[in-house]
Amino acid sequence: MYKQLPLSRFVSTTQESRHLADLVQQLPLSASQFGLVLTSVLGPADENGSSGINFPTQNIDEEPEELHPHFRSGPLPQSSLSPGTSEPTVIDITIQGHAHCFVAHCEKEMMQAAIDAAESGSSTDNATGENMLQALKKQPDSVIARHYDNICSIICTILEHKAKTFKRKGNREDGKLEPEYFYSLNDIWLPALAAYGELTGGNRGVKFVISEHDLLLQEDEVKARCAQLENDQGLTLGTMEERDTALMLELNGVQYDAHYGRYIIKRSACFRSKKGNMVAWAGTHGDFSIAALHVLPDYRKLGLGRLVLWHVAREHMSLARKAIEIGGTASETIPSTALYAHADCLEHNLSTMVFMERCGWRRIGMYNWVGLYANRKA
């Protein structure tokens, strides 16, 4: 039904850094994609990376290179529209291992269409896949319909690329391939993904964001409170260590293996008691979202959760600015109101949602982490 579309790869750390600076314009909706590119930039530098403005690109059909798994589409045309009636569809994608992530530059416009179709208020909670389908039904020949078709073509491109490149054999009796996983998928795109096969497992959650500007407004208060806790109760702020991984994983709401646990603690903050035991902590996921936020019961009501949350988010903003400068963009040209830290909360975890809002974070939409057994016939 949908054709494959050409994608270009960012082939150097320097180019990815400039891509990171460009993604700032799509924040906060591009938060996960921004974080994935940030992870790549902060990883091992590509010694062969160009420092020029115009970078060569690889076609998606070339041999995959896990060091640089980030792509950009198009811009994809909307041929039946009159010139100037709409921006073409542009999508940024990460294709890495079994897991994929993408953000469309039209996402805000599409979410608003879904919210309008709900006719039940302006909350971003109404930007769902079901309401997106209602919007498309009401406007079958509209700009949003053409954007949606292009998103479906991008999903087709990702799946066909993986099938051709990796040629993995199925591990199920029915002969289906191993599932492809899509993470931080905006809820409005879920029906498009479901058209390609059987969805399996996964989680659905609310994405929260906070701007660097709002973090800086809290800085003096946060530092004063940390000093008070150390003086009055001997609670000291630091980072998690490898010995803390087992406890962090044991008490986390979502189960991860030890290898990923060691990744989470790489960029973290925690409070320790006088005995050196960890009593409150937060870490970092692979897309630079806040991970594993937890406070032991005996240490609640002290504000420790808010403090470790602030410190990890603040570190993320600092690292983002350093990564952006690698590509030659001056950090001071990006205002503090343009950068965002982000965190995801499972949709049933109402207490954590209330906590995040009390800490100054705001919700921007529903997102999914889901597997797909692709039939590749759509």
Residues paired with residue 199 on neighbouring β-strands, in sequence order: 372
Per-residue pLDDT of the chain (378 residues; tens, 9 = 90+): 566 777 888 989 999 999 999 999 999 999 999 999 999 999 843 333 322 222 223 333 334 445 688 999 877 766 544 445 557 889 999 987 667 999 999 999 999 999 999 977 788 989 999 999 999 999 998 889 989 999 998 998 888 876 666 554 444 455 556 788 999 999 999 999 999 999 998 899 999 999 999 999 999 999 999 999 999 999 999 999 999 999 999 999 888 999 999 999 999 999 999 999 999 999 999 999 999 999 999 999 999 999 999 999 999 999 999 999 999 999 999 999 999 999 999 999 999 999 999 999 999 999 999 999 887 554
pLDDT at 77: 67
Crossing angle for the helix pair 304-326 and 350-358, to the nearest 10 degrees: 70
pTM, entire model: 0.88
pLDDT at 170: 47
CA distance 224 to 255: 34
Asked, as a colleague might, if the bond just before 75 is cis with ω within 30 of 0, I would say yes
In three-state form (DSSP H/G/I as H, E/B as E, the rest C), the secondary structure along the chain is CCCCCCEEEECCHHHHHHHHHHHHHHCCCCHHHHHHHHHHHHCCCCCCCCCCCCCCEEECCCCCCCCCCEEEECCECCCCCCCCCCCCECEEEEEECCEEEEEECCHHHHHHHHHHHHCCCCCHHHCCHHHHHHHHHHCCCCHHHHHHHHHHHHHHHHHHHHHHHHCCCCCCCCCCCCCEEEEEEEHHHHHHHHCCEEEEEEEEEEEEEEEHHHHHHCHHHHHHHHHHHHHHHCCEEECCCHHHHHHHHHHCCCCCCHHHHHHHCCCCEEEECCCCCEEEEEEECCCCEEEEEEECHHHCCCCHHHHHHHHHHHHHHHHHHHHHHHCCCCHHHCCCCCCEEEEEEECCCHHHHHHHHHCCCEEEEEEEEEEEEECCCC
Closest to 150 in 3D by CA, of 118, 187, 192, 120: 192
pLDDT at 293: 97
- For tokens 């809002």, what's the residue? 357
Crossing angle for the helix pair 304-326 and 31-42, to the nearest 10 degrees: 60
What Rg value do the Cα atoms of the chain yield, rounded? 21
Rounded to 5°, angle at Cα 319 from 317 and 320: 65
- Chain centroid, CA 97 distance in Å: 16
> What phi and psi values does residue 256 have, to the nearest 5 degrees?
-130, 160
CA distance 34 to 231: 38
Q: How many residues does the chain have?
A: 378
